[in-house]
Structure 1
Amino acid sequence: MAAALRPEKVRKMANSPQSKKRVRRNDRRAEINTARRSRIRTFIKKVELALESGDQSAAADAFKAAEPEIKRGVSKGVLHKNTASRKVSRLARRVNALSA
């Protein structure tokens, strides 16, 4: 499905039935993972916008919504555990600095 959407992507022809199935599965998973990564970025942007506006309560609420989304990305294999920890830590530090 995704390969049909991106014709510029050239792929070697799969030979065995298992490798053909693997190509189909990889395309499906890539689409799901792209959507999930995009969703995580959106939640992070909401926190950053709240931080820029200086609204501490909005930033805290946005952070409370973003943190589980980032951690879900780890459990689904979209983000590395340390990457997610770093992102959460830096966002938390900025949200806490706004309240101080």
Structure 2
Amino acid sequence: MPNIKSAIKRVEITKARTIRNASIKSAVKTAIRRYEEALAKADKEVAETALRNAMVAVDKAVTKGVLHKNAAARKKSRLTKRFNKIAG
């Protein structure tokens, strides 16, 4: 544990940010999982809605600084590619 006041504050801030980042990452993973479940059922309308929700979650993660914009673009591209396979 640090002794210097500013270092103590940084540790506390890091803990808070780690919790926030974990929450945002979890939301992204959950949205993607729900999308994949919709794809498995081959229900186009549900999959389309889930895809939109997943993209929103990914974009929010970028806005919050949790994901890099290129990583988000890659995720969104892969999700869209999988949707286009079932959409025809």
Q: Which runs of 5+ in 2 are unaligned?
A: none
- The aligned counterpart of 2:83 is 95
The separation in 2 between residues aligned to 1:81 and 1:41, in whole angstroms, is 16
Choose 1 or 2 for highest CA Rg. Answer: 1
Question: Could you say which structure has the higher helix fraction?
Answer: 2
**What is the percentage of aligned positions where both structures have the same residue?**
38
Query: Which AA in structure 2 matches 1:30?
Result: T
- The aligned counterpart of 2:8 is 20
The separation in 1 between residues aligned to 2:79 and 2:9, in whole angstroms, is 40
- The aligned counterpart of 2:74 is 86
Compute the TM-score of the two structures, normalised by the length of structure 1.
0.85
Shift of 1:68: 1.3
- 1:64 matched to 2:29? The reply is no
- The aligned counterpart of 2:36 is 48
Shift of 1:15: 1.9
RMSD over equivalenced CA pairs, Å: 0.8
